[in-house]
Amino acid sequence: MTESNPPAVTVLGLGDMGTALAEALLAAGHPTTVWNRTTARADRLVTKGAARAGSVAEGIAASRLVVTCLLDHRSVHDVLGHHADSLRGRVLVNLTSTSPDDATELATWAACHGVDYLDGGIMAVPPMIGTPDAFVLYSGSRAAFDTYHDTLAAFGACHYLGADPGMAALQDFALLSGMYGMFAGMLHAFALAGTEGIEAATFAPLLKRWLSTMIGFADTAAEQIDNGDYGRGVVSNLAMQATGYDEFLTLAEARGISPELLAPLGPLMRQRVADGHGAEDLTGVIELLKTKSNGSDTARTGSDA
């Protein structure tokens, strides 16, 4: 089919995120067709210039590039399941959060039906879409990514992570895991400060300053992990950190704050110290995270207690 310039795009799924994606496409001047199971959710976009598709089939027919942003993997199959033939020869960019295996399954399904498939992981919340803070991870068809890079850039910076369709989902989940670890630490910190009546708004600037400074540890840790040398460039040895860690968990309990968000790291630190790695960095704890089930020979030998 002949492409308009800028290319036409169909967005299937107009929840908070799908709506933000469609708005970004409209703002960038793309002819945008939208469909949602609950049709009223398209109303606001239509007033902004989107074309309403009366059905999934009508939406697919409107554009060579079809973007899905639905709740989960199952809903993608629910929506596209009966439309494989209509999708043939088109490009499907799935921005629904899925697992790597689900992304691979969908890519295989798409390939079987002659659909060029690109999987995506959105690293933004809806208000960030179209701003410099947003970025999106992509993996799967390189041709699809190259063809539609400028279109996809309406959502945020584009990072292509390779032909393996599961790669975007894997790194998306890894990034979110890092975020939740940080959020867990934040909640513990607010709770502990709160035991002295310190308001969260008073404490937040110090917390932000400290976490912003410490984020540089990612580079140190990466160098240690990639070189398999947890003693490289150590400035705060693990034995010292493990001692301090126990003390602030004890303080939390004494102040009536459950240490449950942070407690799991303590035994891992202690085990590394007991195994003779006290002079190394905290990073070596990563060795204890490897279990037999992920194919590593390095199994946990110590107690979790």
Interface positions with ligand NAP (CB under 6 A): 13-18, 36-38, 41, 69-72, 75, 78-79, 96-97, 122, 125-126
Q: Which CB, 34 or 110, lies closer to ligand NAP?
A: 34
User: Using CB atoms within 10 A of its CB, is residue 188 exposed (0-12), middle (13-18) or buried (19+)?
Assistant: buried
The smaller minimum CB distance to ligand NAP, of residues 70 and 288, is found at 70
To ligand NAP, the closest distance from the beta carbon of 47 in angstroms equals: 18
Least distance between ligand NAP and beta carbon 239 (Å): 40
State the minimum distance, in angstroms, from the CB of residue 16 to ligand NAP. 4
Which residue lies nearest ligand NAP, judged by its C-beta? 15
d(CA 96, CA 250): 42
Distance of CA 249 to the CA centre of its chain: 29
For the record, the structure tokens of 62 come out as: 């409107």
Q: Compute the least distance from the CB of residue 23 to ligand NAP, in Å.
A: 12
Spacing of C-alpha 44 from chain mean position = 28
CA distance 109 to 94: 13
Task: Closer to ligand NAP by CB, 14 or 92: give it.
Answer: 14
Shortest reach from residue 286's CB to ligand NAP, in Å: 26
| Nearer to ligand NAP (CB atom), residue 102 or residue 280 | 102
Nearest one of 112, 55, 100, 54 to 73, comparing CA atoms: 100
DSSP state of 229: -
Nearer to ligand NAP, 129 or 262 (CB): 129
Closest CA to 21 of 164, 143, 168, 127: 127
